[in-house]
Chain A
Amino acid sequence: RKEVEQDPGPFNVPEGATVAFNCTYSNSASQSFFWYRQDCRKEPKLLMSVYSSGNEDGRFTAQLNRASQYISLLIRDSKLSDSATYLCVVYSGGYNKLIFGAGTRLAVHP
């Protein structure tokens, strides 16, 4: 079983739609969680950290459920510029390493 699993998509949504991605992780001792965004043929960049209480950044909301070991990302009012691959990332403090999910591809169309 992979340490971090995501639905690969693609999610094809119209502009203005709300879309949600989920990610599950296997190591219950994982300490920190992130969502990264990767544009085609570019390096990944941090979108947002995920806090236990949930957090919001404009149109983006991230939530963590430690009991069920999953994190989610909600994008409201999708824009064409949101088209990208979204990577779920887990930091394992015990091993001091970042583990990436395979990514979920989002395509927003007019």
Chain B
Amino acid sequence: NAGVTQTPKFQVLKTGQSMTLQCAQDMNHNSMYWYRQDPGMGLRLIYYSASEGTTDKGEVPNGYNVSRLNKREFSLRLESAAPSQTSVYFCASSEPGNTEAFFGQGTRLTVV
């Protein structure tokens, strides 16, 4: 039962470097999300995708781009990493409506 798989689990970047966080789900869900979590801030929505081929900005989209490659995969790209992007990133998927969202195990990113 893979559920939602995120890679990598840990990453250290230098300021200005770029990287892509990968997320894949095997539950045939339409909706996928990227959140970041900082101490005392809860989960803040970066981008979400209601269905394959669509993406929308969340609360904190600046500095990020996303790609909904197909129904299974939703990637998050940092084009030029900044120390302010040091955080734990969670990917999630769900069906729209009153259904449970499933999360990946998170990516702990440090930008130095």
Contacts and interface: CB of A to CB of B under 8 A. Distances in A.
Interface of A: 6, 8, 31-32, 34, 41-46, 49, 87, 89, 91, 93, 95-103
Contact of A44 (B56, B58, B98, B103): B103
A87 B48 contact: no
Interface of B: 31, 33, 35, 40-45, 48, 50, 56, 58, 90, 92, 94, 96-98, 100-101, 103-106
A95 B100 CA distance: 17
B47 to A, nearest CB: 10
Contacts of A42: 105-106
Given A43-B103, A43-B106, A100 B42 contact: yes
A87 B97 contact: no
B57 to A, nearest CB: 10
Contacts of A99: 45
Contacts, number: 59
Contact of B97 (A93, A100, A102): A93
B105 A43 contact: yes
Nearest to A3: B59
Contacts of A100: 35, 42-45
Most buried by B among A6, A8, A98, A99: A98
Contacts of A31: 97-98
A87 B98 contact: no
B48 A97 contact: yes
Contacts of A41: 106
